Amino acid sequence: MKFYLLTIFPEFFNSPLRIGLIDKALKRGLIEVEILNLRDYTTDKHRTIDDVPYGGGEGMVFKPEPLYRAIKSVKERDPETKVIYLSPQGKLLHQRLAEELANEKSLLLICGRYEGIDERIRAHFIDEEISIGDYVLLGGEVAALVIIEVLSRLKPGVVGTKDSVDRESFTSGLLKYPAYTRPSDFLGLKVPEVLLSGNHREIESYRRKESLRLTLERRPELLRELELTPEDRDYINSLLEKQRIYLFLIHYPVLNKRREKIASAITTIDLHDLARLSRTYGLKGVYLIQPLEEQRKLAQELIDYWLHGKGGLHNPLRREAMKKLTIVSDLEEAIQEVRNMEKIDPLLVGTDASPKRTYLLPEQLRNLCWEKPVCLLFGTAWGLEDSILDRCHYFLEPIWGRLDSYNHLSVRSAASIIVDRILGIYSFYKKKLLPKNNQFQERLVS
């Protein structure tokens, strides 16, 4: 595979291409690199490659003519060359894109600088615009090196064995399992026993599990794309069991529309919908917090109808969901019940439609769920009163809705949206993948 590098700093590439496996791959002819100095394609005596932007503004823009001449000269010599412009506005580089690019015979990598290149070149003479990440470098040279390194690894012979390429993070679609080397005991920190066992089947299985665990904890979205074996699924399910989320529906103290402290009445539909939500997403339970005895009795009667009466006989699925509900008289009692089960203090996470406090994003809370049991506190009526909010360790980002100030979801809708934002990403293993060559899926991943 051949890489043409078009740059105004040819010397930039002197040392990185002379080191390690890239140096070897070049010497063995597995890859080829030709560096082109953009200034060699200028025609004026100052070798000018840039100019001020039309319309004013900061910085300089690469002029179209030298770029055009450089691209043309490469295309004349090597017509199949794919022209790539490196810029932060491009498509994000990921392993799948790298695998596609590795099939090309040659690439011309254009390293931008300053305010970028003239739009007419970008729009008409570039095949693909690629970014290596959501940050801004001083120029495309580092990005070009990244592309050379990522693609070279995929060329047979560049890395020792195909096996070691296949085992890397992303090639298998999973993050790589942790590696250990001698000594087996370092400052009292031991290497996992199984790695010393010599049992290759067990070692393989341990490594696969570690890859699944790391991916689930750090990059769960990657699992969506994977074909999982039944053993993988069982293992993932056992890990997900470790996420313990409880939902607290608070009827006192909450606010009314005049922001006065009140106790609200239990709503039947909340019980049904929150129970079903809880069962569907694997929550550990829903606590209804209601200080009014008559209200508690009424709700318990309803629950009993589904657990022990005709309701449950007629609709066993609903009975299964209703088992998730527990009625208590105050927040302390609910916390104590969770503490008794979990043997550890849970994190209390408040939800509030009108943000007054700094809040966590759903993915931040998702990460916390691996560490501690989490109780999500939802207020009925016009929301949780300050004395409850003051007890919370964290707050969740509100559901904002859109455009105007109208923001009046029912508590059960808000709970469903929030729970899906935290846990919906783990539904990947229920989802059937769309056919591989499906246009819709291609658009989704690109």
- Footprint of ligand ADE (CB under 6 A): 86-88, 112, 131-133, 135-137, 139-140, 143
Question: In whole angstroms, how close is the CB of 126 to ligand ADE at the nearest point?
Answer: 13
| Spatial contact of 136 and 10, defined as CB atoms under 8 Å apart | no
> Nearer Cβ to ligand ADE, position 11 or 134?
134
The neighbouring-strand residues paired with 246 are 285, 375
- Residue 30 near residue 60, CB atoms below 8 Å: no
Q: Least Å distance between CB 388 and ligand ADE?
A: 44
Rank residues 133 and 192 by Cβ distance to ligand ADE and give the closer one: 133
Give whichever of 111 and 266 is closer to ligand ADE, judged by the CB atom: 111
Query: Cα–Cα distance between 349 and 356 in angstroms, integer?
Result: 14
Cβ closest to ligand ADE, residue 91 vs residue 190: 91
Task: Output the smallest distance, CB 94 to ligand ADE, in A.
Answer: 13
Structure tokens, 310: 């005709």
Total length of the chain: 446
Q: Which is nearer to ligand ADE, 57 or 188 (CB)?
A: 57
User: Residue 132 or residue 275: which is nearer to ligand ADE going by CB?
Assistant: 132
Query: In angstroms, what is the minimal distance from the CB of 116 to ligand ADE?
Result: 9
Distance in Å, CB of 121 to ligand ADE, minimum: 15
Cβ 109 to ligand ADE, closest distance in Å? 10
Question: What's the min distance (Å) between Cβ of 88 and ligand ADE?
Answer: 4
Nearer to ligand ADE, 131 or 215 (CB): 131
Cβ nearer to ligand ADE, comparing 62 with 235: 62
| Residue 84 beta carbon to ligand ADE: minimum distance, rounded to whole angstroms | 10
